[in-house]
Structure 1
Amino acid sequence: MKLKIAIQGIKGSNHHQVAKDYFGNDTEMVECLSFDTLVDQLLEGKADKGIMAIENSIAGSIIPNYALVYQNNLHIIGEYYLNIHHNLMVLKGQKLEDIREVSSHPMALLQCKEFFKKYPHIKLVEDVDTAETAKRIQEQNLSYLAAIAPKVAAELYGLDIVADDIQTIKNNATRFIIVKTKNKELPKSEINKASLRFITDHKRGSLATVLNVMSDCNLNLTKIQSLPVIETPWKYAFFVDVTFGEYQAFDKAKALLNIMLEDFKVLGEYKNAMR
């Protein structure tokens, strides 16, 4: 039986590319037009694993996804970094000057806005997914419309790329996390990264104390993100990523932090994919 992978978006999207790179081609894609739907597919057992974008090197963190992982008790079992390439694609035979409108995900439009300053006649329209527009252009034979999407979308939907790599900043990468409803994917000897969530008290220096414990246990802090605790105004939860050489060092830190902190939770233990 093929592994069912839930992705945000449809085939031809960046999430689809990550699924192919991470799991290979012998999988079944479960297409989801929102991250909430993706989580529902996992919780209902309609998908085995899910892929979620969590941060971009230009735009920063996708903050709602941190809350989704925590609130739905998902486990991060892996990560993948994808270099993002935005390509402008049209119906076969069309040219750039024929285009009156471009539709894509808001993040893609934002990352390509410098390119479109040269074409003020083109209207930019936000859509839910990069590849969905590419599919719609093919299905409805839309000659006035262009999509911003990965090359895999042009291949899937038979479109022509009229401009490639149109993103303003060429060194553009997105970090994706691999999630499922259960943990226990890797032996401890292969684990060298973890994602944590905790709340500190209001005492001065509380966060500094936590960071000192991590440092004393030889953990390297690679990411820290704060989110408000909705039920308690002006209280914040911290989402933290750490890397380490030996699992034993992380085990020691876990024991100490569990005693020190309120609502301490390990969201995932996995292999560091940073190159």
Structure 2
Amino acid sequence: MTKPIAIQGIKGSFHHEVAQRYFSDKAEVVECMSFDRTVDHLLRGDTDYIVMALENSIAGSIIPNYALIDNHNLSVVGEHYLDIQHNLLALNGQAISDIKEVHSHPMALLQCKVFFKNYPHIKLVEAKDTADVAKQISEQNIKGTAAIASKNAAQLYDLSVLAASIQTIKHNETRFVIVQRNNKNIERKRINKASLKFELDHKRGSLATILNVMSDCKLNLTKIQSLPKIESPWKYAFFVDVTFEDYKDYEKATSIMKLMAENFKVLGEYKNARL
């Protein structure tokens, strides 16, 4: 029996949409109101996969999620890029002039801030999940309140789209990763991207040396993110994503990096979703 996929949010959320696109439009999901809860389900064995947003083209990295993957020794086994389109949703028959409050996730509110400058009468209220607000408005028949959510949420909860694509920057993309407890067996010939983590001494040129190894071994650095080590002030862990054409080049690079860096770890090897 196939286990459901754990997502942050509920049906109609962007995480739900990624689960449908990556696995199947009929994929069953476990709805979680936090990323910590999704990880709990994975560690308990309630699910074999979780969908986790990792970075946004506007807002940048979701740093706590890097720590969740690392601290629990989880493995990234895939990725999916989703074009995020924010829509203003309300009960059927409502108009923008009827709306007094808009409830949504803080990130959605921030990304749509310019749109609401034209509607100073509307109060913006933070909520935990975009789709959850849409569901509450529908089930409780709440008038005068709107949600910022996906068109999927509008269809799922029978709401009207008062305004479409209201985000300030129209090309708004989020990278989601698919995470398991252990790396599943992916054919080596299909692997052309990896997520790595390492630490370095606080010495001049230590990071540059590692980056030179990547370059010399024909790896393309697509992401680098530093995260402070709480127990060691002013020392940082680095999370990097690299792509490559030949797995042997990647193997050579990692064999060298293991010797040069501290606490080197492969967080995942998978297929580049950009190709």
Question: Normalized against structure 1, the TM-score is what?
Answer: 0.98
**CA–CA distance in structure 2, aligned partners of residues 119 and 47 of structure 1:** 43
Contact 1:76 1:177 in 2 (8 A): yes
Q: Secondary structure at the match of 1:254?
A: helix
Deviation at 1:239, TM superposition (A): 0.3
Post-superposition Cα deviations, 1:156-208, rounded to whole Å, max 9, x if no partner, equal: 00001010000000011000000010103311100000000000112210000
Quote the residue 1:257 is aligned against.
257
Quote the residue 2:161 is aligned against.
161
Q: Secondary structure at the match of 2:248?
A: helix
Which amino acid in structure 1 is aligned with residue 91 of structure 2? L
Contact 1:3 1:27 in 2 (8 A): no
Q: Secondary structure at the match of 1:27?
A: coil
Can you give the 5+ residue segments of structure 1 that lack an aligned partner in the other structure?
Answer: none
**CA–CA distance in structure 1, aligned partners of residues 153 and 91 of structure 2:** 12
**CA–CA distance in structure 2, aligned partners of residues 66 and 250 of structure 1:** 22
Q: Secondary structure at the match of 1:107?
A: helix
How do residues 64-103 of structure 1 correspond to structure 2 at under 5 angstroms?
64-103=64-103
Deviation at 1:4, TM superposition (A): 1.3
Deviation at 1:210, TM superposition (A): 0.3
Which amino acid in structure 2 is aligned with residue 250 of structure 1? Y
Contact 1:8 1:51 in 2 (8 A): yes
Deviation at 1:93, TM superposition (A): 1.2
Which amino acid in structure 2 is aligned with residue 129 of structure 1? D
Deviation at 1:274, TM superposition (A): 1.6
Contact 1:2 1:27 in 2 (8 A): no
Question: How many aligned residue pairs are there?
Answer: 275
Q: Using a 3 Å threshold, how does the CA distance of structure 1 residues 118 and 55 change in structure 2: closer, same or farther?
A: same
Quote the residue 1:142 is aligned against.
142
Can you give the 5+ residue segments of structure 2 that lack an aligned partner in the other structure?
Answer: none
Q: Secondary structure at the match of 1:258?
A: helix
Deviation at 1:95, TM superposition (A): 1.1
Q: Secondary structure at the match of 1:132?
A: helix
Q: Secondary structure at the match of 2:125?
A: strand
Quote the residue 1:13 is aligned against.
13
How do residues 92-241 of structure 1 correspond to structure 2 at under 5 angstroms?
92-241=92-241
Deviation at 1:133, TM superposition (A): 0.3
Which amino acid in structure 2 is aligned with residue 269 of structure 1? E
Which amino acid in structure 1 is aligned with residue 120 of structure 2? P
Post-superposition Cα deviations, 1:94-114, rounded to whole Å, max 9, x if no partner, equal: 111110000000000000000
Across the aligned residues of Structure 1 and Structure 2, the Cα RMSD in angstroms comes to 0.8
Identity of matched residues, %? 65
Quote the residue 2:54 is aligned against.
54
**CA–CA distance in structure 1, aligned partners of residues 264 and 58 of structure 2:** 29
Contact 1:217 1:253 in 2 (8 A): yes
Which amino acid in structure 2 is aligned with residue 228 of structure 1? P
Q: Secondary structure at the match of 1:171?
A: coil
Which amino acid in structure 2 is aligned with residue 201 of structure 1? D
**CA–CA distance in structure 1, aligned partners of residues 118 and 181 of structure 2:** 47
Q: Give the 4+ runs in structure 1 shifted more than 2 A.
A: none
Which amino acid in structure 2 is aligned with residue 160 of structure 1? S
